[in-house]
Amino acid sequence: MIYLGEPVEHLIKEYQENEVEELEQTTMAIFITGKEDPLHPPKDIKIVIEGTEVLNELPSVATAFAMVFGLIFTLNLKYPKRLQFTFEFVQKVLMELDGKKMTPKVTRLTTQLYSTE
């Protein structure tokens, strides 16, 4: 996400139980209740789409990200505008789904990753 110029905070957000308004106004995000670190796992990791909690009690942020991608792809949702390059990279480069047409930003990153220099 960082290499594509998209802040991580647009997708992964720390959440407190009293911040219901932020959750309801969210288009798409992964909410973490409590900090995630190796010694203290978060209380909850949930996925919110259009202000509605669709999954909760996920085991990790990585699992949550994979689930978000799967939900977007399965439900044929548009990628959030502020995260379009991240999800395009996952779809076209990592998953190799419809990888012929890529935006210049994703093409540039892909070229840099696969260059042998």
This prediction has a pTM of 0.83
Where do we find the tokens 């379009």?
Answer: 84
CB 48 within 8 A of CB 23: yes
Q: So what's the pLDDT on residue 24? A: 80
Range of the domain at 43: 2-114
Q: So what's the pLDDT on residue 103? A: 93
Could you tell me the pLDDT band of residue 49, with boundaries at 50, 70 and 90?
very high
- The total of structural domains in the chain comes to 1
Could you tell me the pLDDT band of residue 41, with boundaries at 50, 70 and 90?
confident
Q: What are the distances in angstroms from CA 16 to CA 33, 35, 44, 108, 110?
A: 6, 10, 10, 38, 37
- The candidate with the shortest Cα–Cα distance to 9, out of 19, 1, 18, is 1
Choose the weakest-confidence range: 17-21, 43-47, 50-54: 17-21
